[in-house]
Structure formats: C-alpha cells, structure tokens
C-alpha cells in the first residue's frame, strides 16, 4: 500500500494545470453505452476510478482505447454491440458511481442486472431514488441477492418525476435513461452541479433533446437513437479548489491553468474573506498569500450547488487550522464527513466536532506525524496540512487519493513542495465516490 510523505518547506510558486473532472468523466463514460457509435472524450483524467469503470465497460463489450498524455489525453469508447448486461459485485463495489450503468444498459438493451454498490465510508447514500425513477420510466425491477434485475422489453417511457430531495447521482442516472425513453420526461428538483450540465450538453451533442440544462427542472423528449462524437470533459472544480487551498495554506503564488474559477465561487469568496488574494486569468486563476500574515477564521456551511461544495469541506477546514480565531464548519450534505478531523488533530489541529458541526480553533503551527486517509477528499486535506507542518507528515492509504487526483505529487512538486510517494504493494480500496 503506497504512502505519501510531505515535509513543510515554505511557500509554493509555480503553475498547476487542472485535469478533467472525475465526476463528469465517469458519467460520460457510462453514457457511451447509449450509442453504437464511437464517443471520443478529450481532457480525460487518468484515475483509479476511470480505470475501474473502463474495466466494467469492457466487460459489456465496449471498446475502450486510451490515447495521448497530459493535456492531450483522450479516450475512445465504442459500444457497437452490448455483449453482456451483467455488472458483478466485484467490479461495482470498487466505485459506487458504476451503479449508474444500470439506466443506460436498460435504455439501450431493455434489460440489465447490476450489483447494488454497497456501503460508503462517508455516510449512507441509498439508491432508492435511482430505482424509483427507473420504475417510473416503466422498468420492472426486482432485488435479489444483492443485485438489481431490471427489465423493459418494450423500452422505457417518459414520466414526470419529482425527486424528494436534490440528488446528483439520481439526476444523472435518470437523465441518461430518459434520453432514449418514448415520450417526454420531466425531472423536477433536479441537481444543478456543473458535471450534470456537462453530461446533458454531451448528450445533446449526441442527438438527445434536453431543455432546462443548469436549472432544477429538466425536460427530456426521448429519441430513438443517439450518435457518437467528440466531447471535452470540463475542468475538475474539486481539484481546482483543492490546489487553491494548498496554495493558500502554504503561501506564495500559484497559477491554476485550464481551470474555470466560476465553478468554485462559493469557495473563493470564503478564501477572500479569510485573507487570500484570488485573481482570475484568461485560463484560470492565481492564488496568492503572504505566508507571514495569518489567515482570518471564516465560517462555512456546505450546500448543494451553487453553494459551498461538501467535497471541499475538508480542504477548507485544513486551511482554517492555522487561521486566527475560531471557524465553524457546518456539514449539511453527508453525515460522518468529519473523519479527517481526528487525523488533523494528530498534526496538532484544535478541532471539536458535535454532530454536523465542527469548531476549528486556529493554532500557531502544525507538526508532522503519521496519519491515515479515510476518504478521497480527506486524504488531500492531509497533504495540504503537511505542506506547512514542521517535520515529516506521512499519509497512509493514499489509494483514496489516486481515485480523484492525477499526478498530485508531480503537480505540487513542480511548485516547490517537498512531497514524494513511497511505493507499497497494490491494493483496491473500499468505495467512496467523493
């Protein structure tokens, strides 16, 4: 099992290119099932998650071909024929979002059997909304021995579906199924995350008829078939926000390129309030801070988009560990998402957690220690803390990091961070999609 060691060694200076969005790429990959024509995705991240889903798609008979490097990375998907509609537990358990192949398989072939995704380290995220929506679209669904068996031999049909609460996964999943359903589907209380807009626009490029993109009501007029095409994955707003927090934590000046700061204004507004200088550029943003001046304590509360992203909560909490004053962090999206707090405490942070609220009292300095990553976003928060901690911070279980951050050591190292990976035996970690 690999680990990462970080030595706090002063400010960061340089440029970090932002990769394509993981949470968009994996849904676009699933959408390739909907057509028998080639779909080429450019600006594709190379991550453990995309590797896992690529393996699952190949098991269905999809040709998956990776090309290029760096900013030229692309992957070609060609589902000319679907040879299998069975998604076994051993593959689905590795990434919760792979459950979202159920809808595209059902829409394309009329049947599918997909394993339930199992538990999640950051809280319960049941798939009831997904199953409910597919049932409303005319699917006959049975749960047996941990699998969802779905049938729609006559095809799916449009329906009006109002989600009981905002769900990113259920919105994306239902959208993919509905584009090939007969008639009109209306999705109310739909999630509005940028990754959903990216998926919807790609589907429109493929021939889908979708109105209301980027709003909470999506209207889909079903079509009989989709074509292929080329699509560029949007920049990863969570990676962008994570590196922005890293630059602010260490101080100095870092230019984030191939980025869209408009996707993280809820974060950058809070960073500005804390004393970080944020300067938009033609292709991204510059993050600047004088390391001799302490940040100001700033409160945040996570919300659905366009509010403060839950996937940036751990990173911002880390930023507040050395700020002047007490910050209050409210987590309103997931229960059990403060598991990074005890690990930050091992580095000397002063954090008290009560249910969905954390109080962070800034300390003068952090000190390096061995810590353990608990989920994807928590793991990068520990790297951020290690950038300023005295001595060595050793972070274990970094397979979490590999699920969502591409070439992290290389990108931070290019800006002067003292960071390296210590190789260990390979491991396939438990699921958490964030």
Give me the active site residues, please. Answer: 120
Binding residue per annotation — 365? no
- One-character DSSP codes across 188-251: ES----HHHHHHHHHHHHTT-EEE-TTSSEEEEE--S----EEEEPPB-HHHHHHHHHHHHHH-
Find, among 139, 137, 136, the residue nearest to 114 by Cα: 139
Binding residue per annotation — 216? no
Binding residue per annotation — 58? no
| Cα dist from 414 to 118, 156, 368, 419, whole Å | 38, 50, 22, 10
**Rounded to 10 degrees, what is the CA torsion of 39, 44, 46, 50?**
-50
50: which residues sit within 8 A by CB, 6+ positions away? 22, 25, 26, 29, 44, 75
Separation CA 261–CA 294 (nearest Å): 24
Separation CA 165–CA 161 (nearest Å): 12
Binding residue per annotation — 127? yes
Separation CA 109–CA 106 (nearest Å): 5
| Cα dist from 361 to 244, 328, 340, whole Å | 21, 9, 15
Burial profile 6-40: b = 16 or more Cβ within 10 angstroms, e = fewer: bbbeebbebebbbbbbbbbbbbbbbbbbbbebbbb
Binding residue per annotation — 129? yes
36 beta partners: none
361 beta partners: 326, 350
Binding residue per annotation — 64? no
Q: Which residues define the annotated binding site for UDP-N-acetyl-alpha-D-glucosamine?
A: 96, 125-129, 311, 333
Enumerate the known binding-site residues for phosphoenolpyruvate.
22-23
């Amino acid at each position: 099992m690999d680990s990462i060691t970080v030595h706090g060694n002063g400010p960061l200076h340089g440029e970090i290119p932002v990769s394509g969005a993981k949470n968009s790429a994996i849904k676009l990959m699933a959408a390739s099932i909907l057509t028998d024509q080639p779909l080429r995705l450019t600006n594709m991240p190379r991550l453990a998650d995309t590797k896992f889903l690529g393996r699952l798609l190949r098991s269905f008979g999809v040709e998956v071909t990776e090309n290029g490097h760096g900013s030229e990375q692309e992957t070609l998907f060609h589902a000319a024929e679907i040879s299998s509609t069975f998604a076994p537990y051993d593959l689905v358990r590795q990434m919760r979002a792979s459950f979202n192949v159920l809808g595209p398989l059902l829409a394309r072939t009329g049947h599918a059997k997909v394993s339930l995704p199992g538990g999640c380290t950051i809280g319960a995220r049941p798939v009831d909304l997904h199953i409910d929506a597919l049932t409303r679209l005319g699917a006959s669904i049975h749960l047996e021995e941990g699998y969802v068996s779905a049938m729609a031999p006559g095809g799916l049909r449009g329906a009006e579906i109002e989600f009981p609460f905002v769900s990113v996964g259920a919105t994306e999943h239902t959208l993919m199924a509905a584009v090939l359903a007969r008639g009109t589907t209306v999705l109310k209380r739909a999630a509005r995350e940028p990754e959903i807009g990216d998926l919807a626009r790609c589907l429109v490029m493929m021939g889908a008829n979708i109105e209301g993109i980027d709003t909470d009501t999506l209207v889909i007029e079903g079509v009989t078939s989709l074509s292929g095409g080329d699509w560029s994955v949007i920049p990863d707003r969570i990676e962008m926000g994570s590196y922005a927090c890293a630059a602010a934590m260490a101080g100095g000046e870092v230019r984030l390129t191939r980025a869209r700061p408009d996707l993280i204004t809820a974060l950058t507004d809070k960073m500005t309030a804390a004393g970080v200088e944020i300067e938009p550029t033609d292709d991204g943003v510059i993050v600047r801070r004088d390391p001799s001046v302490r940040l100001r304590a700033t409160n945040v509360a996570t919300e659905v988009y366009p509010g403060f992203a839950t996937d940036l909560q751990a990173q911002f909490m880390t930023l507040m560990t050395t700020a002047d004053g007490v910050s209050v962090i409210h987590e309103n999206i997931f229960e059990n998402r403060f598991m990074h707090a005890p690990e930050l405490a091992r580095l000397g942070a002063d954090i008290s957690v009560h249910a969905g609220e954390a109080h962070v009292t800034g300390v003068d300095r952090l000190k390096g220690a061995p810590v353990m990553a608990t989920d994807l976003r928590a793991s990068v928060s520990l790297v951020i803390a290690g950038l300023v901690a005295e001595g060595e911070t050793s972070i274990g279980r970094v397979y979490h990091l590999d699920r969502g951050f591409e070439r992290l050591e290389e990108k931070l190292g290019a800006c002067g961070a003292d960071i390296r990976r210590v190789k260990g035996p390979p491991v396939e970690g438990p699921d958490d999609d964030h």
